[in-house]
Structure 1
Amino acid sequence: MSLTPLDIHNKEFARSFRGYDEDEVNEFLDQVIKDYETLIRENKELQTQLISVEERLGHFANIEETLSKTIIVAQEAADEVKNNSKKEAQLIIKEAEKNADRIINDALAKSRKVAVETEELKKQASIFRMRFRTLLEAQMEIIGSESWNSFEEAAATREEI
């Protein structure tokens, strides 16, 4: 059990023959009572402040824990977004490569088709030129033949008539 200011105030000492001066002892006890009351008051105030500070500390500890959890969740979300972005980028690249291959293959097929058509047109032009030359040569032969001369003479005779 702790000593209270009232205990100090009510304390009585036995008197002895050559004891202390009673007024001096009472004065000292009064000073002890005042100091002790002051210490008790300060102790209560400090306990109240301590409780307040502990409550604030608990509040800040909760905030810190919440922030830590939030940061972890945000980091996980960022990692997930990053991973999804990488996967999406890979899919886009694969799709682009497929499209590029398809476009190249289509262009090669068209190029081959044009080359085949060009060769075919060259052959047809050569055949046409040969046929045309043959036709011209045949016509030149007809023009240079005897029957053409007789035809010219007959036409000239008709004109004279």
Structure 2
Amino acid sequence: MPLTPLDIHNKEFSKRLRGYDEDEVNEFLDQIIKDYESLIRENKDLQAQLSVHQEKLGHFANIEETLSKTIIVAQEAADELKNNAKKEAQLIVKEAEKNADRIVNDSLVKSRKVAMEVEELKKQAAIYRARFRALVETQLDLLSQDGWESLESNEARVRELE
């Protein structure tokens, strides 16, 4: 068991003729030297371990700092990517809306053109029907005139003469 400072302080040497017992003092000093050397070795070992642990701690602190910076950079890149994607999506939506408006406007123009053509065709059909009716009525009038009867009677006379 190592000596404590209290043990050293309270140690009393027996007295002899020439003073302290030299063997006892030497034994005690040997014990102190042995314990002191043991403490010095233990202290050096602990300091070496502390140095290794501090080095590891510094290494891990460095890794932690690097990881933190990497996470921040990754987060910023993700945010930038997200913002760019939003902007691109907005541009795509605006472009799609423009195309949709253009398609709708083109369709409206075409439908108006078709409606005007239909109206024109209806007018032309009405004019054609009116002209055809007038022609038919004129032909019926011609058929109902007395001139046809005289032609028939002249034709009958020509047959009789033959």
CA displacement 1:90-131 (0-9 Å, x = unmatched) = 111111111111011001101110110010000000000000
For the structure 1 residues 152 and 29, does the alpha-carbon distance in structure 2 shift closer, same or farther, using more than 3 Å as the test?
farther
| Residues in 2 aligned to 1:109 and 1:159: alpha-carbon distance in whole angstroms | 69
| CA gap 1:122/1:17 in 2 versus in 1, 3 angstroms | same
Deviation at 1:65, TM superposition (A): 1.1
Is residue 2:90 matched to residue 1:90? yes
Separation in structure 1 between the aligned mates of residue 108 and residue 52 of structure 2, nearest angstrom:
82
Deviation (angstroms), 1:62:
1.2
* Gapped regions of structure 1 (runs ≥ 5): 1-14
Over the aligned positions, Cα root-mean-square deviation in angstroms equals 2.2
Check if 1:105 corresponds to 2:100. no
- Matched ranges for 1:46-125 at <5 A: 46-125=46-125
Query: Displacement of 1:26 after TM fit?
Result: 2.1
CA distance in 1, matches of 2:20, 2:151: 182
What is the one-letter code of the residue matched to 2:108?
Answer: L
Name the residue aligned to 1:41: 41
Percent pairwise identity: 71
How many residue pairs match? The answer is 148
Q: 2:31, 2:151 → 1: CA distance?
A: 168
TM-score of the superposed pair, with normalisation by structure 1: 0.83
CA drift at 1:88: 0.6
Larger displacement relative to structure 2 (40-49 or 20-29): 20-29
In the TM superposition, residue 76 of structure 1 has moved relative to its aligned partner by: 0.9
* Alignment pair present for 1:147 and 2:141: no
What secondary structure, in the 3-state scheme, does the structure 2 residue paired with 1:134 have?
helix
Q: CA separation of 1:141/1:30 partners in 2, compared to 1, >3 Å: closer, same or farther?
A: same
Q: Which has the higher contact order (CA 8 A, sep 6+)?
A: 1
Cα separation, 1, equivalents of 2:73 and 2:127: 80
C-alpha change, 1:159 and 1:123, in structure 2 (3 Å) is: farther
How far did residue 157 of structure 1 move? 5.1
- What corresponds to 1:10 in structure 2? none
Give the Cα separation in 2 of the matches to 1:56 and 1:159: 141
Paired residue secondary structure (2:111): helix
How far residue 16 of structure 1 moved from its aligned partner, in angstroms, is 7.2
Q: 1:48-103: per-residue Cα shift (whole Å, max 9, x none)?
A: 11111111111111111111111111111111111111111111111111111101
> What TM-score do the two structures reach when normalised by structure 2?
0.82
Partners of 1:116 and 1:62 lie apart in 2 by 80
What is the letter of the counterpart of residue 49 of structure 2? Q
